[in-house]
Amino acid sequence: MIKNMYKSSKRSFPVYDSLRQAIIEQALKPGVKLPEDSIGETFGVSRTIVRNALVRLDAEGLVDIQPNRGASVAEPTIEEAYDIFEMRQCLEREVMQRLCRMDPKPIVKALKAHLAEERSALGKDSTRSIRLAGEFHILLAELTGSQILANYVNEIVSRCSLILARFAQAHSAECGVEEHAEIISAIAEGDAEKAIGQMHSHLHGVQDRALLNPDDDRAENVAEILSRYRTNETD
């Protein structure tokens, strides 16, 4: 029985990964229903495996599961949005403080490599730009060497992507990339106060763009969207 449970959990990983990426890249919008049968057919797995993935995403705040109503992409309220951004400011301030106490050379090298990817995606692949923007902040946290801090930042960045998907108006990613470059420069100088200030301004810029967007289309076919994210076999 334990062996079967482990196998089921292992098989849910590709489903979880694909759903999570589709939500973070804003392909699946807040409020979109996530029918277990349709998702199972897309990945060629049972509803039990799909349910395991949805429960995990529900624990991360990306999916909302309601009894007798099934699962849907979570819809954060505006109050939750402000609270999450406030908590993110606290976490990323700690990240800046830790990085500025470390040897900047390997940190800056890794960040500049990521920044080059962000710039290469500008104007070419909007979903990739969205994902890379969030991954920049996750990379910052990972470079501190604290797995706990990295896990918290990973979760809160993912929830911010969901907030932007619901509330943000369309904008160019170019300003965000340049703000990332300024953060890297401050870290290279080992100037914690400057780095914290740059990050504070950057996150406020992201938050300021979180305005209600009336052009919210939730009618897209979930199976069709997820078929584009099916990159791993579940057998």
Q: Band the pLDDT of 220: cuts 50, 70, 90.
A: low
Read off the pLDDT of residues 208-219 as tens digits, 9 standing for 90 and up.
766 544 444 444
Class of domain 2-74+216-227: mainly alpha
- Listed range (3-12, 148-157, 181-190, 196-205) with the worst mean pLDDT: 3-12
pLDDT at 213: 47
Please tell me the pTM assigned to this model.
0.79
Compute the distance between CA of residue 181 and CA of residue 228 in angstroms, rounded to an integer.
Answer: 31
Class of domain 78-208: mainly alpha
Mean pLDDT of the chain: 85
DSSP string, 150-180: HHHHHHHHHHHHHHHHHHPPP--SHHHHHHH
Average pLDDT over residues 53-80: 92
Read off the pLDDT of residues 190-200 as tens digits, 9 standing for 90 and up.
999 999 999 99
Closest CA to 137 of 76, 78, 206, 80: 206
Q: Where are the domains of the chain?
A: 2-74+216-227, 78-208
pLDDT at 12: 57
Q: What angle do CA 52, 57, 59 make, to 5 degrees?
A: 95
Between 211 and 59, the more confident residue is 59
